[in-house]
Structure 1
Amino acid sequence: MALLLCLLTTRAGAQITDWQKPDPYRGEEAGEPGELKEDDYALPDVAQATDWVEFHVGSETRNRYFVARASISVGKDEVTRFISRVLTAGGAETVSVEGIRCATAERRLYAYLRAGAGWVTPRGVRWSPVYTGNRFNAYHYALFDGLICAGDRPQKPSQAIELMAASFKSRVGTPLTGYR
């Protein structure tokens, strides 16, 4: 009986991963997806890191999240680029230039602000998924999920700003009972 159960579970495990294989009948091809061509992007002036719009991420975090209004732009490559600001409950602040590619649900860090040094470009940064599974710092997913992106297409910058500003209106609850 134990042997039969063991065989069934190993077979079921193999079937679970089979759906991830490409299916030629659905028009999928085997191999790595091609690299999408990204526009050349010059880092914005540090002076654009003002006039912030705050947006709601979730009740799980005590951090506050902002995007500089004047920094939001959509390139010909359909990547939305912006300056973000994260304030922790302890008072630490992180300011960075980031991009979100709506079509592939990916994000990228272009630079972060270092006091006295301006923008600093990190080495070895590449596109990564917007959803990391970390609910406590999931602002990239919040931006992707309806604030900066409309499905797989980028929002207009003016529309994105309106949606970010309105994101707090959809909260229901109180600080004592929690928000949803």
Structure 2
Amino acid sequence: MNPLFRTLSQYLTCALAATTLAACAGDPMESGLDPFAPMEFKEGTTKMPLNPPNPSTLLPFYVSQHTVFKFAVDTDSILIGADGVTRYIVVMTNPSGGQQAQYEGIRCDSFQWRLYGTLENNVWKENPLSSWRGIQSNVPNRYQAALAQGAFCNFNSQEKNIKTILQSLNPNGFTGGTKPTNSFGIQ
């Protein structure tokens, strides 16, 4: 065999081995940069509402046949956050007519909710102990589940279209998650 050809063959073999090793070094599983790994949730800044709920934009929604409370969401307050959180004002009315307003957020990806604050004497008070909690689907006052399943989420993804959310909240067709549906009303 020609010595020049042998040397060239050795160089090519070495180059191929080096390329193979370099490719292995860039393996996402080895480098810890797995493109398919779940993203870590990073919540954006949440500011309390400036005003109390607007009575003219309160939209009642169905929660459960077992609840004695009435629930409404202020449609002007619905904020579809880029961080994956849908924020809103909810107004709860007890059987004697007393009301409580809360500013909350829902995460569809983890099916969780968070209480940011409550309205006290027409002033929003931030909740200092606010943390993410699992949404309960099997309790009478399951209004977070009703909002998530009936309007704010498209399965486990945040609904990004406010028009779709408002159409889903329509009292004539709102299911509150009582039957399987997606945000387009397909069953």
TM-score (norm 1): 0.69
**Residue identity opposite 2:98 in structure 1:** A
- For 2:46 and 2:174, how far apart are their aligned partners in 1? 34
Residue 41 (1) aligns with residue 9 (2): no
**Runs (4+) off by over 4 Å:** 167-171
Partner of 1:110: 116
Provide the residue aligned with 1:6 in structure 2: none
| Equivalent residues of 2:52, 2:119 under 8 A apart | no
Q: Is the 8 A contact 1:56 1:167 kept in 2?
A: no
Equivalent positions of 1:110-129 (< 5 A) are 110-116=116-122, 118-129=123-134
Pick the aligned partner of 2:149 from 145, 153, 160.
145
SS at match of 1:42: coil
Unaligned runs of 5+ in 2: 1-37, 179-187
Matched, 1:75 2:75: no
Amino acid of the structure 1 residue aligned with 2:117:
A
Provide closer, same or farther for how the CA distance between residues 47 and 125 of structure 1 changes in structure 2, counting only shifts above 3 A: closer
- After superposition, the Cα gap between the structure-2 partners of 1:121 and 1:37, relative to the gap in structure 1 and judged at 3 Å, is same
1:54-99 CA distance string (max 9 Å, x none)? 1111111121111101100111111000000011112121101000
Aligned residues: 137
- 1:130/1:167 Cα in 2 relative to 1: closer, same or farther (>3 Å)? farther
Larger Rg, first or second structure (1 or 2): 2
Cα distance in 2, alignment partners of residues 146 and 122 from structure 1: 26
| CA–CA distance in structure 2, aligned partners of residues 114 and 126 of structure 1 | 20
